[in-house]
Amino acid sequence: MSAAAKKKNPGFFRAVGKDIAEIGTTFAHGDWRTRLSYIILGFGQLLRGQIAKGIAYLATEVLFIWYMLQVGNRYLAKFSTLGTVETTKVHRKTVYGDNSFLILLYSLLTICIIVFFIFLWRLNVRENLKEELILKSGKQLPSNKKVLASLLDGNFDKTLLTLPMIGIFLFTVLPIIFMVCIAFTNYDKTHQSPTHLFTWVGFDNFRELFATGGSGLGSTFGTVLFWTILWALAATFIDYFLGLGVAMLINKKGVRFKKLWRTILVITIAVPQIVSLLYISKLFASDGIINQTLLKWGWISKAISFWTDPVLAKVMIILINIWVGIPYMMLIATGLLMNIPPDLYESASLDGANHRQMFRYITLPYIMFVTGPFLLTQFTGNLNNFNVIFLLTQGGPLSTKLKGNAGYTDLLITWLYKMTVNDTNYRMAAVIGIMVFIVTAVISLVVYNMLPSVKDEEAFQ
């Protein structure tokens, strides 16, 4: 890892160095059109007849300057403090001061726009250089029509990706950067914008998360994290093997109505979980039908607290998740079982292998081999499996031993949700979000490099 990083770094710096050198030499050797393009983007292109490109560059620059003057500089100036003017009440009128939320959001947007603009400027310089070289070698530049047509041909990828990338930037990248920044501020109940300011606090929130004494969330975080990982392991592997088992049962030679059995299981996937899981959560409620029936039959003397006993609630969640998870795995395993080369079994049975041995030495290794990446995505998906937990227990049962309103079945993700919605404790929610990311990323990286299908791609080919 470190060796690879070391190897990569000089390459990166060399590339940047080369880039800067190219910008310099282009300016030194370029004609006056190119040189002017360093300040007025698209100028060289326009003068060389590349109207479409030139206008696009020029328009972007005008927009950029307009944005920076109108919006960008105002917010960026307050970025370091996130606002200093408090909202005050003069007599009965509220005089609004700085809005920290807006300042942070627009500052980040502005920074991103500046980075994008620098990138565009670099592109503009290179394009000028290219055009000059083409003209110098006596060739002609492509016509404007050709340039535009290339957006549907050679540059079709740019056409296809532009809108999705803008969408991802605005609705995923920018919000994530924003929330990562929130983790370093004191934005919470007592610092709500626009009436109150919030500001940078460094690593205070992280210290609070890990601190075990006083108001620290350390022990609660440990409990929740432990259960999150335990849950993800149980949910992934129990479902995986049981689903495989059910698929093999149905696939067994001589079993009839294969389609019927499968269809019955698949209904679970088809019915929206909001309906099925909410109904099931009420089945097991203390006044639910199961408790009432058992009471009526006299099997129990008082209602079993399925959802209020911490251990029982966890067991129930894992059991019900089996109900949710088996059908998916059954579908996948069915497809895979059919793909196992039959001659593997034939030669095994010629060698006198019995069913158990065939399962142990052929079926299982094959399935594990091809579903390695799938298992990994299932695992990371289960780390963030919001629906099952939230619809069944909403993270409960709560306890005074746990801080931050966490319950015993809360995953990091449901805890994050509660902090955002119920407690408006945005700063801690952001910190937990970063923790979820770290856990997911570390596990993915480590496991991915251990997967047999990554290590040894050819094993079953």
* 67 contributes a contact to other proteins by CB under 8 A: no
Q: Which is nearer to other proteins, 226 or 279 (CB)?
A: 279
Residues 282-341 that bind other proteins (CB under 8 A): 282-283, 285, 287-289, 292-293, 295-296, 323, 327-328, 331-332, 334-336
* Binder among 230, 249, 315, 364 for other proteins (CB under 8 A): 249
How far are the Cα atoms of 189, 288, 314, 326, 420 from residue 405, in angstroms, in the given order?
Answer: 14, 26, 17, 32, 12
- Which of 382, 429, 373, 451 minimizes the C-alpha distance to 230? 382
Distance in angstroms (rounded) separating the CA atoms of residues 313 and 388? 12
Contacts of 177 (CB under 8 A, 6+ apart): 108, 112
Which range of residues in 136-144, 147-155, 202-210, 401-409 is near other proteins by CB under 8 A?
147-155
* Binder among 228, 416, 427, 428 for other proteins (CB under 8 A): 416
Least distance CB 226 / other proteins (angstroms): 18
Contacts of 243 (CB under 8 A, 6+ apart): 325, 326, 327, 328, 329, 330, 332, 333
Question: Crossing angle for the helix pair 174-182 and 426-450, nearest 10 degrees?
Answer: 120
Q: Which is nearer to other proteins, 32 or 257 (CB)?
A: 257
* 149 contributes a contact to other proteins by CB under 8 A: yes
Distance in angstroms (rounded) separating the CA atoms of residues 223 and 409? 10
Distance in angstroms (rounded) separating the CA atoms of residues 313 and 304? 11
* 417 contributes a contact to other proteins by CB under 8 A: yes
Handedness of CA 255, 258, 260, 262 (dihedral sign): positive
* 421 contributes a contact to other proteins by CB under 8 A: yes
- Report the length, in residues, of the chain: 461
* 159 contributes a contact to other proteins by CB under 8 A: yes
Asked if 382 and 231 count as a contact pair (C-beta separation under 8 A), the reply is yes
Which amino acid would we find at residue 162?
T
Q: Which is nearer to other proteins, 39 or 270 (CB)?
A: 270
Buried b (16+ CB within 10 A) or exposed e, 21-35: eebeebeeebeebbb
Distance in angstroms (rounded) separating the CA atoms of residues 406 and 221? 9
Q: Which is nearer to other proteins, 45 or 393 (CB)?
A: 393
Compose the 424-443 pattern: x for residues touching other proteins by CB under 8 A, - for all others.
Answer: --x--xx--x--xx--xx--
Residues 87-106 that bind other proteins (CB under 8 A): 101, 105
* 279 contributes a contact to other proteins by CB under 8 A: yes
CA dihedral 273→275→279→280, nearest 10 degrees, is -10
* Binder among 157, 343, 351, 458 for other proteins (CB under 8 A): 157
Q: Which is nearer to other proteins, 65 or 275 (CB)?
A: 275
* 195 contributes a contact to other proteins by CB under 8 A: no
* Binder among 69, 77, 148, 278 for other proteins (CB under 8 A): 278
Q: Which is nearer to other proteins, 158 or 401 (CB)?
A: 158
Only one residue has tokens 């990554």, namely 454
Which range of residues in 42-50, 139-147, 304-312, 411-419 is near other proteins by CB under 8 A?
411-419
Q: Which is nearer to other proteins, 41 or 416 (CB)?
A: 416
Residues 331-390 that bind other proteins (CB under 8 A): 331-332, 334-336, 370-374, 376-377, 380, 384, 386-387, 390
Q: Which is nearer to other proteins, 217 or 336 (CB)?
A: 336
State the DSSP code for 68.
I
Which class for 242: exposed (0-12), middle (13-18), buried (19 or more C-beta within 10 A)?
middle
* 119 contributes a contact to other proteins by CB under 8 A: no
Q: Which is nearer to other proteins, 43 or 101 (CB)?
A: 101
Q: Which is nearer to other proteins, 203 or 448 (CB)?
A: 448
Which range of residues in 60-68, 197-205, 221-229, 242-250 is near other proteins by CB under 8 A?
242-250
- Which of 285, 282, 286, 263 minimizes the C-alpha distance to 274? 282
